[in-house]
Structure 1
Amino acid sequence: MMLQDKDLLSIQEVRDLVKKAKEAQKILANMNQEQINKIVKAISEAGYTNREKLAKMAHEETGFGKYQDKIVKNTFASKVVYENIKDLKTVGILNEDKENKILEIAVPVGVVAGLIPSTNPTSTAIYKAMIALKAGNSIVFSPHPNAKKCILETVKVIKEAALKAGMPEDAISCISIPSMQGTTELMKHDDVSLILATGGSAMVKAAYSSGTPAIGVGPGNGPAFIEKSANIKLAVKRIIDSKTFDNGTICASEQSIVVEKETEEKVVKELKAQGAYFMTKEEADKLSKFILRSNGTMNPQIVGKSPQVIADLAGIKIPENTKVLIAYEENVGPKYPYSREKLAPILAFYVEKDWKSACDRCIQVLYNEGAGHTMIIHSENEKIIKEFALKKPVSRILINTPGSLGGIGGTTNLVPALTLGCGAVGGSATSDNIGPMNLINIRRAVYGIRELEDLKENKDSNENNNTISEDYVNLIVEKIVQKLKEKIN
């Protein structure tokens, strides 16, 4: 098949899928909450039942991460997300405020375009299908070409289960001939109401510039500050747990460690004791050449790979039991690979004179890359924790928890999600962990409570300082009487 033919076939497939998805969504929009919930439960159960098979497929196809951890991700996407959303009211009247005479009504957005990355392919597909259907939307997936087979299989198993539970035939679908042209057609299609984009910066920017409303997630580059009051042993354990989970492919995982000079020795000793390998300057220089490609983007050769594979790639020798590779770093910027996002078990290590300098360094790292996403602090000092929370340009400040699992809501009480909004500072439409409520609009039916004459009276009262409305006088009298009663009692 010629490349041109593939592009044309991909575009035509998208048009057909969107047309069918639109018709399916019309049926979904007329379903009640019980019917929607039954479909979502079926997706959850199918994802969970097939969690191991899909994890192994994702690992074999992409070569990223560890299939054992991908099983955990699939469990999280199917079970943890489901438990969080199962009782949400997403159909019909959401709220009736009788006092203020306002009705809030859920309105599905329509057809959702779900862009799926290669780093978390099966889990993201399960999660996005559930939150889209829970909100009464149909979804058309655009799979990353390097994870096409496992994503198509995921869509197949959850779709079969959802159909048995009463889902309209084409409410879940997936492009089988993925291409840039096909994805562009999907994002710009007039009948697509919202893009749910998870992936690289270029793809997220394309989603926001498509002309279709989008919720996109940019890169993470979260620094982890170990403040001197922290339980250092536990902080190191959490960081290594996070950075080694699926070999660092979750974007909320730590990308650098920042410490104060007075605790440097203790932290380094503990990191080494728990399996971290501090590279020499020569070794770090060798590896730095493999972190970024010539165009400044992350090298896929290191993504989700073990420390041993990465070391072999760079031609350096490391102990057999190494869990994480660490490089001392003093600089931050586009040309300094260790200061950038590294979806692999590689960390930068910064040493600062005190917590205020560490605070400044974290801000510098985030504005270089990852603004709006996530950062982590390990500390027992509430004052410093609050200072960090007030000043950091991120949507999630994670305290005393692993970054990757805390950011997605696994080890914290954040909304369980695999799409993490980065707020305006990160170029995102929201700072939320994305759930069904982000995929509905709210129609408000409101009763009139004032007449034109009431508005005029208020206006006249404001213009004439010598005139006080009767309602205002009665309010003052009521407050005075209440105060007197309190004194008597």
Structure 2
Amino acid sequence: MDNIMLDRTPASADQEAIAALVARARTAQRAFADATQERVDDAVAALAWAIYEPGRARALAELAVADTGLGNVADKIVKNQRKTFGTLRDLMRVRTVGVIEEDTAKGIVKIAKPLGVVGAVTPSTNPAATPVNKAMMAVKGRNAIIIAPSPMGSAATGRTVELMRAELARIGAPEDMVQMIPTPITKGLTQALMEAVDLVVVTGSQDNVRRAYSSGTPAIGVGAGNVPVIVDESADLAEAARKICASKTFDNSTSCSSENALVVLDSVYDATIAALEEAGGYLCTAEERGRVQSRLWENGKLNRKLIAKDAAILAEAFELAPKAREARFFLVEETGVGKAHPFSGEKLSLVLAVYRVPDFDAAVDQVRRILDHQGRGHSCGIHTKDEAHAKRLADELDVVRVLVNFAHTFGNGGGFDSGLNFTLSMGCGSWQKNSISENLSWKHFVNITHLVRPIPEDKPSEEALFGPFWSRHGR
């Protein structure tokens, strides 16, 4: 026995630890697999209440900021409640038990069934909200879920999981429907989880996304954001500035949907800058811009001591003018795109790049270059009254979402004035090698059985199908 213990490798120990969790999850999931829709919806609401209850929403926000040093408490409270409430709204409006769709004309009935056990990798930026969001969707499909948090957010995620389990127990549902891998969190444990479950859903580092896709388990990963937003000559500049400020400053710009670059037409550039300053922005001088760049990046990487920090901390770190000490976010003018121009990428901070372009054609080209550098597939936005401009972006750019006249952070992942479903995980399609090109939702957490019955024959003639081709090209 001693020799066996000595021969154990860290990998086998990780696999054993995960196997025990998965076994418990499978037992819980099997016990819940035959739950009625009402029972399922009760469990989903219980998970939502675990974080939505005001005292817990605040406590988890405080713990998240203390645990990670990212964002701010007030906005994390809003995120914990708003995202959860919106997701609950979406989930309560759909069936996931039994027959969920029937098409009599095609003779097809669709029956939803569980996937099994889901492994969810979650980020440090949202160590409470994202685990609950994914757990609600998974349990809506009658699945169990095991969460692998970022090491930096593991204390907050651990407490969140404890609260979700307590709420499940309170309604008599199996607690082991929601679990978390043991601390300390390691890549080995996370990898073992990915390999042992029935579906992996990853939000966070692109390294984890790639590892999930190569794990041998069906996987849903989401891509990096780097949102560029156009302001054209028809925009309501005051309204656009207000929305940009609200979105950019929310939770200190931790969201992947936060604006990272503004592309402003020359004819309204000065007025747009003035409106942004009125809304709380501060335009850095050329000298200050140099300090921002040299301190926000160290050895080519974002400085973890400055990302997602309060504006006052950044103003001091960048040694900005006294006027900047009252600003809510900071504007830096940029012209280039690429590795030599770090402001053209995602900044995870209250720093917003601004590009001046001569016309709308140039604006579209600039947005394309920014996305090709980073964030292709994710999203972009525009402030405009010209519907043709918005339509052109959707037609020409390789993004999953184009938002028109939105505070981008509050519309991209679902909003009460946005038709997109609420989520904290946004697919970017093949443009970022993602398996989905939409917002993560409940439908990604169910298997579908198709009951198929005979229908009247639907077989067109050869002439009906080939006729147009023959008339143009001959037989």
Using the size of structure 1 for normalisation, the TM-score is: 0.88
Measured against aligned partners, the alpha-carbon deviations of 1:324-366 in whole angstroms (never above 9, x if no partner) come to 1111111101232100011111111100000110011001101
Indicate yes or no: 2:284 matched with 1:271: no
Query: Do 1:256 and 1:348's aligned partners in 2 also have CA atoms closer than 8 Å?
Result: yes
Aligned match of 1:62: 68
Partner amino acid, structure 2, of 1:34: E
Indicate yes or no: 2:259 matched with 1:254: yes
Q: 1:10 to 1:322 in 2, by over 3 A?
A: farther
Query: Do 1:423 and 1:431's aligned partners in 2 also have CA atoms closer than 8 Å?
Result: yes
Aligned match of 2:346: 341
Query: What is the CA distance between 1:89 and its match in structure 2?
Result: 0.3
Query: Do 1:117 and 1:144's aligned partners in 2 also have CA atoms closer than 8 Å?
Result: yes
Aligned match of 2:472: none
1:221 to 197, 207, 226: 226
Aligned match of 1:434: 440
What are the within-5 Å matches in structure 2 for residues 379-390 of structure 1? 379-390=384-395
Local SS of the residue matching 1:121: coil
Aligned partners of 2:116, 2:331: CA distance in 1, in Å?
Answer: 46
Query: Do 2:166 and 2:175's aligned partners in 1 also have CA atoms closer than 8 Å?
Result: no
Query: Do 1:223 and 1:376's aligned partners in 2 also have CA atoms closer than 8 Å?
Result: yes
Query: What is the CA distance between 1:9 and its match in structure 2?
Result: 5.4
Aligned match of 1:305: 309
Query: Do 2:316 and 2:325's aligned partners in 1 also have CA atoms closer than 8 Å?
Result: no
What are the within-5 Å matches in structure 2 for residues 88-99 of structure 1? 88-99=94-105
Aligned partners of 1:164, 1:143: CA distance in 2, in Å?
Answer: 25
Query: Do 2:262 and 2:355's aligned partners in 1 also have CA atoms closer than 8 Å?
Result: yes
What are the within-5 Å matches in structure 2 for residues 275-286 of structure 1? 275-286=280-291
Aligned match of 1:448: 454
Aligned match of 1:406: 411
Local SS of the residue matching 2:302: coil
Aligned match of 1:232: 237
Aligned match of 1:31: 35
Query: What is the CA distance between 1:100 and its match in structure 2?
Result: 1.9
Aligned match of 2:296: 291
Aligned match of 1:13: 17
Equivalent pairs, count: 455
Measured against aligned partners, the alpha-carbon deviations of 1:109-164 in whole angstroms (never above 9, x if no partner) come to 11111111010110111111111100111100001111111100001111110122
Query: Do 2:127 and 2:153's aligned partners in 1 also have CA atoms closer than 8 Å?
Result: yes
Aligned partners of 1:48, 1:187: CA distance in 2, in Å?
Answer: 29
Using the size of structure 2 for normalisation, the TM-score is: 0.91
Query: What is the CA distance between 1:310 and its match in structure 2?
Result: 2.3
Query: Do 2:114 and 2:143's aligned partners in 1 also have CA atoms closer than 8 Å?
Result: yes
What are the within-5 Å matches in structure 2 for residues 345-360 of structure 1? 345-360=350-365
Partner amino acid, structure 1, of 2:203: T
Aligned match of 1:183: 190
Aligned match of 2:330: 325
Aligned partners of 1:394, 1:290: CA distance in 2, in Å?
Answer: 31
Local SS of the residue matching 2:75: helix
Local SS of the residue matching 2:167: helix
Aligned partners of 1:30, 1:273: CA distance in 2, in Å?
Answer: 57
Measured against aligned partners, the alpha-carbon deviations of 1:278-327 in whole angstroms (never above 9, x if no partner) come to 11222212221333443x54332222112222233344445221111111
Q: 1:169 to 1:281 in 2, by over 3 A?
A: same
Partner amino acid, structure 1, of 2:74: Q
**Alignment RMSD (CA, Å):** 2.3
The worse-fitting range, judged by mean Cα deviation, of 283-292 and 33-42 is 283-292
What are the within-5 Å matches in structure 2 for residues 40-51 of structure 1? 40-49=44-53, 50-51=56-57
Query: Do 1:117 and 1:199's aligned partners in 2 also have CA atoms closer than 8 Å?
Result: yes
Query: What is the CA distance between 1:434 and its match in structure 2?
Result: 1.0
Aligned partners of 1:297, 1:30: CA distance in 2, in Å?
Answer: 49
Indicate yes or no: 2:127 matched with 1:83: no
Local SS of the residue matching 1:229: coil
Aligned partners of 2:33, 2:340: CA distance in 1, in Å?
Answer: 50
Aligned partners of 1:461, 1:304: CA distance in 2, in Å?
Answer: 60
Partner amino acid, structure 2, of 1:78: T
Local SS of the residue matching 2:128: helix
Aligned partners of 1:461, 1:225: CA distance in 2, in Å?
Answer: 46
Measured against aligned partners, the alpha-carbon deviations of 1:449-481 in whole angstroms (never above 9, x if no partner) come to 479xx98x9789999xxxxxxxxxxxxxxxxxx
Indicate yes or no: 2:149 matched with 1:143: yes
Local SS of the residue matching 1:88: coil
Aligned partners of 1:338, 1:92: CA distance in 2, in Å?
Answer: 50
1:118 to 109, 119, 124: 124
Query: Do 2:168 and 2:175's aligned partners in 1 also have CA atoms closer than 8 Å?
Result: no
Query: Do 1:152 and 1:176's aligned partners in 2 also have CA atoms closer than 8 Å?
Result: no
Query: What is the CA distance between 1:77 and its match in structure 2?
Result: 2.9
Q: 1:273 to 1:22 in 2, by over 3 A?
A: same
Matched residues, percent identical?
Answer: 33
Aligned match of 2:3: none
Aligned partners of 2:343, 2:12: CA distance in 1, in Å?
Answer: 41
Aligned partners of 2:349, 2:214: CA distance in 1, in Å?
Answer: 29
Local SS of the residue matching 2:259: coil
Local SS of the residue matching 1:359: helix
Bigger Rg, structure 1 or 2 = 1
